[in-house]
Amino acid sequence: MAENKIMQYIKPPLVLCIICFVMCFLIVAVHKLTYVDTTGIITDAVRTELDSMIGDSSDCVILPDFEAEGVKSVIVDKKKHFCAFEITVNGYAKDGLNVLVGIKNGEIIAVKVLSCKETEGVGTIVTEDIYLSQFIGVNSPDFSADIVSGATFSSEGMINAISIAMNTYNERKGEIFSGN
């Protein structure tokens, strides 16, 4: 009788543990069967921005295993001597600005905003073409740029993104455009 009492208390948690184990196994199995690795794939949003920068971006590829501080990815078209840096920086919001900085022959040819978490109407001013146009033609990490009144952190974030792109380009252009 004491044995029945023990089984009465042990059996429900044991059955529940077995059910949880089986469900976890099934979830992992389904994940492994259906997971698609998108690392190294240029998204439609980025492809659209690349097309607006250089016309036809069909020869662009993401450099695998390229790591640089502040750079999410580097996209390169060696035929056109073009590269683009996807960079996410803090503005007023943490990771508030995700930008694509296009560089051709050592000079910024375009800056596109992929996403912005900044305050609407204030920090988002730094995503407008009139603000971004000041970076076109920059060919050195030492440049001056306007700070938008009321959007200081957002402005500094955008300037930081441009600096990261130019520094990375100048320090590693040989690696970016090499045949490796």
Q: How far is CA 34 from the centre of its chain?
A: 24
3-state SS string over 37-51? CCCCCCCHHHHHHHH
For the stretch 38-89, pLDDT in tens is: 567 888 889 999 999 999 998 999 998 889 999 999 999 988 999 999 999 9
3-state SS string over the chain? CHHHHHHHHHHHHHHHHHHHHHHHHHHHHHHHHHCCCCCCCCCHHHHHHHHHHHCCCCCCEECCCCCECCEEEEEEEHHHCEEEEEEEECCCCCCCEEEEEEEECCEEEEEEEEEECCCCCCHHHHHCHHHHHHHCCCCCCCCCCCCCCCCHHHHHHHHHHHHHHHHHHHHHHHHHHCCC
For the stretch 127-142, pLDDT in tens is: 999 999 999 999 988 8
Give residue 37's pLDDT band: very low, low, confident or very high (50, 70, 90): low
pTM: 0.78
Phi, psi of 29 (to 5 degrees): -65, -45
At residue 42, the pLDDT reads 86
More confidently predicted of 7 and 168: 168
Neighbours of 108 (CB within 10 A): 20
